[in-house]
Amino acid sequence: MNSLTTKQKILEASIRLFNWNDVANVRLQQIADETGISVGNLAYHFKNKEAIVNAVYENLFEEFSLILSAYLLSPKLSDFDVQMEQYHRFFAKYKFYLIDLFEIERSYPHIMRRWQDSVSKMMMQIRKRLDYYLQRGMLLPEPAPGVYDSLANTIWMTIVFWVPQQVLKEKPIEEVYFKQSVWSHIRPYFTPKGLDEFTHDVHPITQF
């Protein structure tokens, strides 16, 4: 039990260091110092840095799968709002993923493949969600072919890149601003029915 806790502590410390310095620049000594254990003890739990990186990404994918599994748990618009909340928490926790994208591609191709797989699922979910809201009469009919494909892509980009661009601008990465950014893409396409549900269910939470 104690071993598990130490492992978890190591992973948490690694995520913090990866966020500050990116994966390539973090050494085992730093991880051990951040965890408050010796390098020998660290080596007992993870034989090398690659094992730590793999474990961190394993956790990352597990958390991401949990978010993906929260697709349409309820038919309301607020369902997307709840999923957005989870996306925000995820991307704020794993800020290093973007900075390290090219490093990961080069050094850990199997991780990159899983990333691409997860990301394509996320993209597909957003697109299907738009179809679903359209079917429910919450969204206006597509003004021209491909508009909702572009909208899905824009929403996806906002969800994935919102946190890094805020960090770049040295702006707060609070959840409410994140949600506002995503909803602002969808809002112009709401029907009166959609707008009504949005105003009643989502608006009070996102405080537009």
Q: Indicate the residue among 79 and 100 with the shorter CB distance to another protein.
A: 79
Q: Residue numbers of the site for another protein (CB under 8 A)?
A: 54, 71-72, 75, 114, 117, 120-121, 124-125, 128, 131-132, 135-136
Q: How far is the CB of 98 from another protein (least distance, A)?
A: 22
Q: Is 178 strand, coil or helix?
A: helix
Residue 139 in 3-state DSSP? Answer: strand
- Shortest distance, position 9 Cβ to another protein, whole Å: 22
* d(C-alpha 199, C-alpha 208), whole Å: 9
H or E element at residue 6: helix 2-21
Shortest gap between Cβ of 71 and another protein (angstroms)? Answer: 6
To the nearest 10°, report the CA torsion of 59, 92, 6, 41.
100
- As measured in angstroms, the least distance from the Cβ of 153 to another protein is 16
Contact by Cβ (8 Å): 52, 10 = yes
| Cβ nearer to another protein, comparing 39 with 124 | 124
Instruction: State in angstroms the smallest separation of the CB of 51 from another protein.
Output: 10
By CB atoms closer than 10 A (0-12, 13-18, 19+), residue 64 is buried
Residue among 8 and 120 whose Cβ is closer to another protein: 120
Q: Which is nearer to another protein, 45 or 95 (CB)?
A: 45
Sign of the alpha-carbon dihedral angle for 136, 185, 99, 12: negative
Task: CB nearer to another protein: give 4 or 168.
Answer: 4
Alpha-carbon span 44 to 154, nearest angstrom? 45
